[in-house]
Structure 1
Amino acid sequence: PDKGATHTVDETIKFLEKKRDRLQSELTDLVEVEFSRQLALLTTIKGIGITLATALIITTGGFTYFQNAKQVSRYLGICPTYEQSGTSVNIRGHINRNGDAYTRGLLYVAAWTASRFNTKCGETYTRLRQNGKPGKLAMIAVANKLVRQAFAVVTHDKEYVDGFVSNRP
């Protein structure tokens, strides 16, 4: 390969990486100003950090675009989908992958931490694994639970309490 061309490509990559980092920083600053309360609430959930909280707020418009948590998980593409037609009834379900792949990836990585430190997420992961489900499927279920917890925390405007048990029937 031509050394000049390689050098130009490397310089372009460095420039774009700096630009990306600067834009992410500006976006995080904007979210901290405009959605400071929601950001604070979301980061009380064990497993959700600043990066994921920012991505969730941006992707969902501060959770104002949706009426319930099921709609949010469907939008993000992490809820299970089953397709059956005619004789094709034995097809395994999968996630729908409709939403933002970046946010979905952040949720999957956050699910690892949540399965260890978030009581309800850990219970979900353990239960599914004991029932013979694959590890990745259990992690997607934990990610789905994280989205539901995030939606509840933001819509009720209350901090997350680890291990909280509702008294509703």
Structure 2
Amino acid sequence: MNKYKETFGVDISKDVFDVYGSECGHSQFKNDEQGFKLFVKTLAADSLVVMEATGYYHYRLAQFLYKNGITVSVVNPLSVKRFIQMKLAKVKTDKSDAKAICNYGLSNEVPLYNALSDVQAECLQLFRLMDSYLKKRTATKNKLHGEEVLGIPSKYVYRSLKRDLKHLNKEVKGIEDRLLELVKQDQQKQLTLLTSIPGIGIKTALFLVVITDGFSKFEKASQLCSYVGITPTIRESGSSVRGRSRISKVGNKKLRNLLFLCAFNACKHNKGCREIYERIVAKGKSKKLALIAVANKLLKQAFAIAKSGLPYDENFVSVLTKG
């Protein structure tokens, strides 16, 4: 049982959001500022509003409620899904989802939402745009290669693709420069500390600083690892079930992918990461599992360095991240 006077579950979509209150039942509002204002008017003092992290849709409402003094929690959709499955619910509608989210908030100690600063909000938008451009750039490079394989590519097609690639490179560079400019305003020291870790580049360091709010959102390295989704899950039961260990994948996919890419370089140049990689491979485990462990190690190193305020030292970091 939570401490709030009333708990509201919110299921939000493109045009509307459904609300289920623990005391007042179901209602629906338009997913715009007018709808937000009407919803706020229905909320009693000491209310808790719980919603799922649904990309773009939940963000505006969560920010609006937070800025209007309402206690908000944004929870992982997979956690709610498992909660619904545990209850053996057979009906799935927007109303039933809102009710399930409300019950989830009543039954669990949910994390409280902290609004993003203007700098954080812009950085996350920039990262999303950069991802889009990077995908387009890869597709353009593949198309160029395909045309070259033909042997006699059309000059017009080839030049058009070259112009497109040049433009995308320029846009990606501009985004990277803007990100660096924004983060340097408040977190220049942390950027310097994080990039002192062998294996972590400026892009990963930037993203780490932004999503962790300068590592202030987490008290322990294990919390950060869980958030990113690189904690191992074990599939064993009795003597018959012996599934392969794998990462949980409940977390921030973007950062997880960045760290996995960093792990390749860290295996060569980062003493602690190299040791853990060689130890796991020597035990006959897969190289992929060893790289996941390296990514986990890198994240723990980043947390230790950010919290200590000291640059990378292979002996000092090994002590802080042991285990």
Please give the range of the TM-score, normalised by the shorter of the 2 chains. Answer: 0.7 to 0.9
Report if the CA contact (8 A) 2:232-2:246 is conserved.
yes
Bigger drift between 16-25 and 147-156 goes to 16-25
Q: 1:123 aligns with which of 275, 278, 282?
A: 275
Report if the CA contact (8 A) 2:235-2:242 is conserved.
no
In the alignment, structure 1 residue 107 sits paired with structure 2 residue 259:
yes
Structure 1: distance between partners of 2:237 and 2:170: 49
Taking only the aligned residue pairs, the percentage that are identical comes to 40
TM-score, normalised via structure 2 length:
0.44
Structure 2: distance between partners of 1:85 and 1:12: 54
User: 1:8-157 maps to which residues of 2 (within 5 A)?
Assistant: 22-82=174-234, 89-157=241-309
User: Could you give the per-residue CA deviations for residues 27-52 of structure 1, whole angstroms, max 9, x where no partner exists?
Assistant: 22111221111111101111111111
Residue identity in the other structure for 2:251: G
Bigger drift between 88-97 and 143-152 goes to 88-97
Q: What is the number of residues matched between the two proteins? A: 160
Task: Give the gaps of 5 or more residues in structure 2.
Answer: 1-160
Structure 1: distance between partners of 2:251 and 2:177: 23
User: Could you give the per-residue CA deviations for residues 93-131 of structure 1, whole angstroms, max 9, x where no partner exists?
Assistant: 311112222211110111111110010100000000000
Aligned to 2:149: none
Task: Give the gaps of 5 or more residues in structure 1.
Answer: 1-9
Report if the CA contact (8 A) 2:230-2:249 is conserved.
yes
User: Could you give the per-residue CA deviations for residues 45-75 of structure 1, whole angstroms, max 9, x where no partner exists?
Assistant: 1111111100111121111111100110110
Structure 2: distance between partners of 1:159 and 1:96: 30
Q: How large is the Cα RMSD of the aligned pairs?
A: 2.8
Structure 2: distance between partners of 1:108 and 1:147: 10
Structure 2: distance between partners of 1:41 and 1:30: 17
CA 1:89–1:67: 2 relative to 1, 3 Å:
farther
CA 1:20–1:49: 2 relative to 1, 3 Å:
closer
Structure 2: distance between partners of 1:48 and 1:12: 30
CA 1:92–1:52: 2 relative to 1, 3 Å:
same
User: Could you give the per-residue CA deviations for residues 106-164 of structure 1, whole angstroms, max 9, x where no partner exists?
Assistant: 10111111110010100000000000110010001000000000000000111110243
CA 1:125–1:19: 2 relative to 1, 3 Å:
same
Deviation at 1:20, TM superposition (A): 5.8
Deviation at 1:16, TM superposition (A): 8.0
Bigger drift between 91-100 and 116-125 goes to 91-100
Greater strand proportion: 2
Structure 1: distance between partners of 2:218 and 2:301: 14
Structure 2: distance between partners of 1:103 and 1:114: 16
Greater helix proportion: 1
Structure 2: distance between partners of 1:157 and 1:116: 25
Of structures 1 and 2, the one with the larger relative CO (CA 8 A, separation 6+) is 1
Deviation at 1:76, TM superposition (A): 0.6
Structure 1: distance between partners of 2:250 and 2:173: 26
Residue identity in the other structure for 1:139: L
